[in-house]
Amino acid sequence: MARRTKLSAEEMQSRLLYRDGLILIVDKPAGLPVHKGPSGGPCLEDSFDALQFGLPKPPALAHRLDTDTSGCLVLGRHAKALRKLGKIFSSGQVQKTYWAVVHGTMPKSAGTIDAPLVKRSSKAKGWRMEVAAEGQKAVTHYNVLGEAEGLSWVEFQPKTGRTHQIRIHALHIGCPLVGDPIYGQGNEGPMHLHARHIQFKLQLSKPDISVTAEVPGHMIEKLRICGFENP
């Protein structure tokens, strides 16, 4: 993905999907890392000062999305909110729904991928995740929403939060994500993985927080091939 520039304050605020006194949910653009890596460069955190809305400090990340993944990203507005969010995320109380376009046909119209993952490093390729018996438990539910022309539009719901979980699980069953620069063909444009929806209960006395992010432009063409009709 070409996008590696800092978002302006206006761009950052235009991506705000939800706001209350504790949290914010933003629509992360694909191609921009959420925080600075070893090589530096622009990241989403660079623009968090545009989201203070009167508080003394900018919000902070409650979880992560890969650089090339777009969609729902939760931020805590202060330390108390971040502690609460940390417990919710670590205990698996957050329902995450991703949309992806993959190569090939999924083995069933709906199913579960239960394949433990381990992080391995090599001098030639750097680090990457692999399926291995000695790895950490990783479970992903999926549901096929459409397919055509050798592509499948798939809804994934990860039940664990391992690094690159959806990407490596899709590869494991023979259906790598379109555009995945590590586990896919890597030469076909942006990766087609979008954090479509997130839902969780933050306060017992209030309804669940439930937020959906619109499909990004770079995914529309292949989603339409698979039967998606945007309103």
Active centre residues (catalytic)? 66
Alpha-carbon distances of 231 from 113, 177, 220, rounded to whole Å: 31, 25, 12
- Compute the distance between CA of residue 133 and CA of residue 221 in angstroms, rounded to an integer: 37
Contacts of 179 (CB under 8 A, 6+ apart): 68, 185, 186, 188, 189, 190, 191, 192
Q: Could you say which DSSP state residue 136 is in?
A: B
Which DSSP string corresponds to 150-206? TEEEEEEEESS--TTHHHHHHHHTT-PBTT-TTTS---SSS--EEEEEEEE-S-TTS
Alpha-carbon distances of 112 from 4, 42, 54, 199, rounded to whole Å: 34, 36, 44, 20
CA 110 to the chain's CA centroid: 20
* Residues 18 and 209 sit within 8 Å (Cβ to Cβ): yes
